[in-house]
Amino acid sequence: QVQLVESGGGLVQAGGSLRLSCVDSGRTFNLRTMAWFRQAPGKAREFVSAISWRSGLNSADSVNGRFTISRDNAKNTVYLQIASLKPEDTAVYYCAASGMYGSHTRTEAEYDYWGQGTQVTVSS
């Protein structure tokens, strides 16, 4: 059973950095693509970055190299390192897992499991 729990969000000043973590309590983490999405106030949820079970990467153009996704299969954890935070990065950040052997797609519907989200607030 896949169960995702995010952590690491908080209030940070513009220009700062954060590392978000998402732990999967299941046994098949290493066989799933993991992704991060975010939802800003009043906006639709949007794709941020994904890392496949083979460690292939896919990131939204908007993150411009400031966001780095990584995974540690030994810890069943996926990370999102965010640098040079901007007020427009304020959002709830969600972790998502694909089905077994899923591709590192940007399509929300391709992800079967979701965490509850962690709030990131960037002050100017």
The per-residue pLDDT for 44 is 97
The residue written with tokens 């969000």 in the block is: 9
Q: Which helix (H) or strand (E) holds 13?
A: strand 10-13
The per-residue pLDDT for 62 is 86
Residues in contact with 16: Cβ distance below 8 Å, sequence separation at least 6, in sequence order: 85, 122
For residue 118, which of 2, 51, 13, 37 has the smallest C-alpha distance?
A: 37
Average pLDDT per block of 10 residues along the chain, 124 residues long: 96 97 96 97 96 94 90 98 96 96 92 97 96
Residues in contact with 5: Cβ distance below 8 Å, sequence separation at least 6, in sequence order: 22, 23, 25, 115, 116
